[in-house]
A and B are shown apart, each in its own frame.
Chain A
Amino acid sequence: MAKIRVLVVDDELIVRESLVGWLRKTGYDVESASGGKEALRKLQEAEYDLVFLDIKMPDISGIEVLQRIKEQSPQTMVVMITAYGSVETAVEAMKLGANDYLMKPFEPEYLLVLVEKLLNQKKIIEENIMLKEQISKRVRYQDLIGASSCMQELFEIIEEVASVDSPVLIRGETGTGKELVAKAIHAKSERKFGPFVAINCGAFPENLLETELFGYEAGAFTGAVKTRKGRLELAHGGTLFLDEIGEIPLKMQVDLLRVLEEKRFQRIGGRDFISIDFRFISATHKNLEEEIKRGAFRKDLYFRLNVIEIEVPPLRERKEDIPLLAQHFLARFRKETNKPVNALSKDALLFLQSYDWPGNVRELENAIERAVVLAKGTVLTKKDFSFLTKGFEGMDEQECKSLEAVEKRHIEKILHECEWNISKAARILEINRTTLHNKIKKYNLKPA
């Protein structure tokens, strides 16, 4: 354990000497300061566990020093030292965050008890903070990364859902991580030793999707030389994940519903029924209720799928996860490409957090990969991500030939992204606020 660090602040030498003496004998690492200014300087230089602070000092009052300490390092314990007759100030100080006070002279035993009590409190507070950090620092759940509260909530939901065997429908925009969620559910479930079989329903033309799912018997159609198992069969004992379920053609929706209800099926061209047992998870970025209204999705299938519904939030709603994800992808692509790119600059991180990510985590992943591949230095800066803003909405290459025109459009875009938060926009543009104001005037920019 590191030595406890104590600072004694008092303008009276004898008080400093005797208090410092006692604290040293107790084995603490003790420093002293003869006034408020010196105290503030020492507090800047090092972290203290405990500060004894005289209320009355000629240069800066103890109360002011107290406020600064509590601003800068709220965990530091502060004991005010007062002389007989100034208890009110001490009580005032307690309201401002002092942890206790001592009235000179005090019983030596009292000092011992007080110091032990405060250091104990501090330990408990610190343990609590550490615990909270540990809990909230569960930033990785299976392959999912996220420290934001919505992702933490999602992890908890997955944990709960994993233990029941019912169908799950995962909703969310493309690239938000729906497949990873499905994998996490599988990995956390009792079927984790069985297979996880995924198929993207949007990736196949109708007839191919059918053969993929159901398989076929030899001779079922021209080209079906050998019998082939479909994904339904392959998923036996494990989890079947149908991505983009909204893309399944209506006719196949009937077949799929039957499989889910009867837990058996026939291969294409086959006569025997094959029993299967798997957990069913599906995902979609579409609004299935709308699809039902449009007649493009069957209501009965919808009710079959949607026993448990999980929503994965878009990346723009959890921007605090962006640095974490960016670092994660950077580490991955550094390894894959073997390029010595090992960090993201502050301005790069700020920029990544200001971008809207319509393609969500996948877009971020691709952006980092592209930046790493093209990077010239060891640190990725904002410049390395300039491709993200090139050719943005309405940017007409012909219209924007002049530098001014490009500047105008760029400032307009950044202002829009920052919701006209001038400070933020100025920071991203790396110009000061006054310059930004002037440019807004010059180009006559207005919020859309």
Chain B
Amino acid sequence: MSHKSLLSKAPIAIFPLGKMGNLIPVVVAANIQGVLNIPVKIEEPREIPNECYMNHRRQYDAGLILRFLRDLEIEYPYVLGITSVDISLPIFTYVFGEAELGGRAAVMSIYRLDRDAHGGHVSESLFFERAAKVALHELGHLFSLYHCNNHSCLMQFSAKLETLDTIPLYFCERCKFLIQRIIYQNPQKP
């Protein structure tokens, strides 16, 4: 059985969440296909449910967004939501992305990715690269990957743009192996 036939149907769906241009989902999808060599489908945009908004924090709760994505009645094994609003977790001041370890849903925000340390705008290519890194990192978690100590690996934990900019746009050999094993073993995950 060739991988092609196994993976003919896209196992990953991208859901743009709220207002967001066409470009970012396309860039992210292209990078996922490029790095992981699996098809990705871009779905129709969805609105983030109101209850995901944390009034006192003026941010969206990434955990609740994950719950929303997980419960979507769709057939894709993996779902990635992309949003332009600021997302966070109750304990954190912000997150770039969040995913269920070994689960189905991941979410990422581009809200903090288009600025430099001083608040100025960065080049579009850097912005795209960051978005691709965050998306692939969160997908890694969906594929049960832990954070990786290898500094040349997408799975290194990066909460700061500085760190995000130093990690490469690829997985180390070990993480790559673990992802491949999961994808090819179980292409039609629940």
* A residues in contact (CB < 8 Å) with B: 12, 14-15, 17-19, 21-22, 24-27, 81, 102, 104-109, 111-112
Interface pair B147/A19, CB less than 8 Å apart: no
Which of B63, B98, B159, B160 counts the most A-chain CB atoms under 10 A from its CB? B159
Which of A14, A22, A106 counts the most B-chain CB atoms under 10 A from its CB? A22
Selected from A26, A81, A108, the residue in CB contact (under 8 A) with B92 is A108
* B residues in contact (CB < 8 Å) with A: 57, 63, 88-95, 98, 100-101, 141, 146-147, 157, 159-160, 163
Interface pair B93/A25, CB less than 8 Å apart: no
Report the tally of A-B residue pairs with Cβ distances under 8 A: 61
Residues on A with beta carbons closer than 8 Å to the beta carbon of B88: 105
In the bound complex, CA of A2 to CA of B93 (Å): 31
Selected from B90, B146, B160, the residue in CB contact (under 8 A) with A105 is B90
- 10 A-B pairs, CB-CB below 8 angstroms? A14-B89, A18-B91, A21-B101, A22-B91, A24-B146, A25-B147, A104-B90, A105-B90, A106-B93, A111-B92
Residues on A with beta carbons closer than 8 Å to the beta carbon of B163: 109
Interface pair A106/B92, CB less than 8 Å apart: yes
Residues on A with beta carbons closer than 8 Å to the beta carbon of B89: 14, 18, 22, 105
4 pairs of A and B residues whose beta carbons are closest in the complex: A108-B159, A27-B146, A109-B159, A18-B89
Residues on B with beta carbons closer than 8 Å to the beta carbon of A104: 90-91
Selected from A26, A106, A109, A112, the residue in CB contact (under 8 A) with B91 is A106
In the bound complex, CA of A254 to CA of B92 (Å): 88
In the bound complex, CA of A266 to CA of B153 (Å): 84
| A18-B89, A107-B93, A108-B94 known; A25-B101 Cβ under 8 A | yes
Residues on B with beta carbons closer than 8 Å to the beta carbon of A17: 63
Interface pair A107/B91, CB less than 8 Å apart: no
In the bound complex, CA of A24 to CA of B141 (Å): 10
**Which residue on A lies nearest to B100, using beta carbons?**
A21
Chain B nearest CB, measured from A17 CB (Å): 7
Interface pair B90/A18, CB less than 8 Å apart: yes
Which of A27, A104, A106, A109 counts the most B-chain CB atoms under 10 A from its CB? A109
Given contacts A18-B63, A109-B159, 9 further A-B contacts (CB under 8 A): A14-B89, A15-B91, A19-B91, A21-B98, A21-B100, A26-B147, A102-B91, A105-B89, A106-B92
Interface pair B92/A107, CB less than 8 Å apart: yes
Interface pair B90/A26, CB less than 8 Å apart: no
Decide if the interface of chain A is mainly helix, strand, loop or mixed.
Answer: helix
In the bound complex, CA of A21 to CA of B88 (Å): 13
**Which residue on A lies nearest to B99, using beta carbons?**
A25
**Which residue on B lies nearest to A112, using beta carbons?**
B157
**Which residue on A lies nearest to B160, using beta carbons?**
A109
In the bound complex, CA of A59 to CA of B98 (Å): 32
Selected from A19, A25, A107, A112, the residue in CB contact (under 8 A) with B141 is A25
Residues on B with beta carbons closer than 8 Å to the beta carbon of A102: 91
Interface pair A108/B146, CB less than 8 Å apart: no
In the bound complex, CA of A208 to CA of B92 (Å): 90
Which of B88, B92, B98 counts the most A-chain CB atoms under 10 A from its CB? B92
**Which residue on A lies nearest to B59, using beta carbons?**
A105
In the bound complex, CA of A419 to CA of B96 (Å): 70
Chain B nearest CB, measured from A23 CB (Å): 10
Interface pair A15/B147, CB less than 8 Å apart: no
Interface pair B63/A14, CB less than 8 Å apart: yes
Chain A nearest CB, measured from B181 CB (Å): 17
Interface pair B57/A105, CB less than 8 Å apart: yes
In the bound complex, CA of A106 to CA of B159 (Å): 11
Interface pair A27/B91, CB less than 8 Å apart: no
Chain A nearest CB, measured from B100 CB (Å): 8
Chain A nearest CB, measured from B53 CB (Å): 15
**Which residue on A lies nearest to B90, using beta carbons?**
A14
Residues on B with beta carbons closer than 8 Å to the beta carbon of A105: 57, 88-93
| A12-B90, A15-B90, A25-B101 known; A108-B141 Cβ under 8 A | no
**Which residue on A lies nearest to B162, using beta carbons?**
A109
In the bound complex, CA of A24 to CA of B101 (Å): 8
**Which residue on B lies nearest to A17, using beta carbons?**
B63
In the bound complex, CA of A26 to CA of B145 (Å): 9
| A18-B63, A105-B57, A108-B95 known; A27-B147 Cβ under 8 A | yes
| A17-B63, A18-B63, A112-B157 known; A26-B146 Cβ under 8 A | yes
**Which residue on B lies nearest to A13, using beta carbons?**
B90
Residues on A with beta carbons closer than 8 Å to the beta carbon of B57: 105
Chain B nearest CB, measured from A258 CB (Å): 75
Which of B88, B90, B93, B101 counts the most A-chain CB atoms under 10 A from its CB? B90
Chain A nearest CB, measured from B126 CB (Å): 19
In the bound complex, CA of A102 to CA of B92 (Å): 10
Residues on A with beta carbons closer than 8 Å to the beta carbon of B100: 21
Residues on B with beta carbons closer than 8 Å to the beta carbon of A112: 157, 159
Chain B nearest CB, measured from A19 CB (Å): 6
Which of B63, B91, B95, B157 counts the most A-chain CB atoms under 10 A from its CB? B91
Chain B nearest CB, measured from A15 CB (Å): 6
Chain B nearest CB, measured from A22 CB (Å): 8
Residues on B with beta carbons closer than 8 Å to the beta carbon of A109: 159-160, 163
In the bound complex, CA of A105 to CA of B54 (Å): 13
Residues on B with beta carbons closer than 8 Å to the beta carbon of A24: 101, 146
In the bound complex, CA of A22 to CA of B100 (Å): 10
In the bound complex, CA of A15 to CA of B159 (Å): 18
